Amino acid sequence: MTGLQAIPDLTACPRCDKAPLTESKDGLRCSGCKTEFPSVGGIPWLFAEPTASLGEWRNRLHFALQKIARESQQIGRELDDANLSELTRRRLEQQREAADSHRSRLRDMLAPLDIHTSPASYESYLALRTRLPTDQGIATYYANIHRDWAWGNEENQASIDVIREIAGASGYGRVLVLGAGAGRLAYDMHMASDAACTVALDFNPLLVLVASEVTSGRTLELHEFPLAPKSLDDIAPLRSLAAPEPVREGFQLVLADALRPPFARQSFDTVVTPWIVDIVDEDFAVQAARINNLLAEGGRWINFGSLAFRHASRQRCYSREETLDIIEAHGFDIAGAVDREIPYMCSPSSRHARRETVFAFTATKTGKVKQPPRHKSHPDWLVTGKEPVPLLPSFQSQAMATRIHAYIMAMIDGKRSMLEMAEILEQQQLLSRDEALPALRNFLTKMHDDASRDAG
């Protein structure tokens, strides 16, 4: 399916949160605020700031491609060593060939992002690092693509078995999967249930474009890069990615932010949250209220995944008991909750694998709660660029540190020692000599380590 023709009544503008979306020439359009939402590879791009988010993902792709190119160049320099053993040379040649192939395949796979613009230098991206959340890049969940569509069925089957245990295979109606990743769990649920439609939402374009290809019945080839290869043949195997069969009608992929879902209130009968509630930067209680408002009366919330909250505030790092209590406090009755151990990220080519105890529950909506405010990952002055940048205390501290670091870098001329540089810092009344020497050593050690990791 292209656009949202199969579910037109479910949408609401993620920007103004009021008007529905309608078909336009190049994608979808808000009838209220008139924002245009493009289509990327036939998939609706429904971020609240569509142009800005598209630019960010393009920048991240450019950065990733340049990083891979530099890795290939570094391997080439290492191959110049005449003392390499035959086996080591073979391994490095495999790694360089796979890096070049991987770069080409990524570029082709993400061509719908319209990347044919002049990229900035590698150093610019390294410094600026455009961020959508702070820790997510194009390849952040790259291994999950292979887990979903190439490594066999053990983990995928274990996952759908847990879902069936707590939720059965009927009564799904209209389904929304928030944070669907490369799409396997959403696909399996749609194929194994009576869901009238399944909307699989994720914010990573690589994962969603892969899901679009394989669920349509096509086969892709992408390299896997195991953390701990079992042998030389497992260094960077080229995997065939394919679904068991083309997905049935009613399956729709959407590129959007799970914290700003582009859907009307009470528009779904089932909301599924796989591997997401404990990793997003939003309090679980707010998530519960948001999901309540997406569900119709009597609708179901199905959760599946880890339970390891990662918030900086300890108050928000909830236990299992607190999590269930929050769910019930936000208009739900717990129908079932289980902990089940399943295989997790078990590549056939890697020595790394583990078992994961997943937390799964199903909860029925029994009451309404107040709609939470729209999620804002960044303040307006950072998003729009129109408001004054506030002079925050942390900015002032960083500005002083940056001036000192810039002064240190300016003193590096290939002749001065750290002792001589410490004397200059003392003369300039920036730091005492006793403070300057360890500060210099720490700063230059970090610079040296970063340079070694980056390019040798």
The pLDDT tens digits of the residues spanning 380-412 come to 777 667 789 888 888 888 887 888 888 888 999
* Token representation of residue 139: 């390849």
SS3 label, residue 176: strand
Q: With CA atoms as reference, report the closest residue to 159 among 194, 184, 193, 195.
A: 184
Checking if the pLDDT of 121 tops 70, the result is no
Q: What is the DSSP string of 179-224?
A: T-TTSHHHHHHHHHS--SEEEEEES-HHHHHHHHHHHTT--EEEE-
User: How far apart (Å, rounded) are the C-alpha atoms in residues 187 and 164?
Assistant: 14
pLDDT band at 130 (very low <50, low <70, confident <90, very high): very low
Lowest-confidence segment of 68-77, 294-303, 332-341, 432-441 by average pLDDT: 432-441
Checking if the pLDDT of 202 tops 80, the result is yes
With pLDDT > 70 as the criterion, what percentage of the chain qualifies? 92
Lowest-confidence segment of 80-84, 117-121, 225-229, 365-369 by average pLDDT: 117-121
User: How far apart (Å, rounded) are the C-alpha atoms in residues 273 and 282?
Assistant: 14
Tell me the whole-structure pTM to 2 decimals.
0.85
Checking if the pLDDT of 244 tops 90, the result is yes
Task: Tell me the pLDDT of the chain averaged across its residues.
Answer: 89
User: How far apart (Å, rounded) are the C-alpha atoms in residues 345 and 275?
Assistant: 13
The dihedral over CA atoms of 426, 432, 436, 438, expressed in degrees to the nearest 10, equals: 160
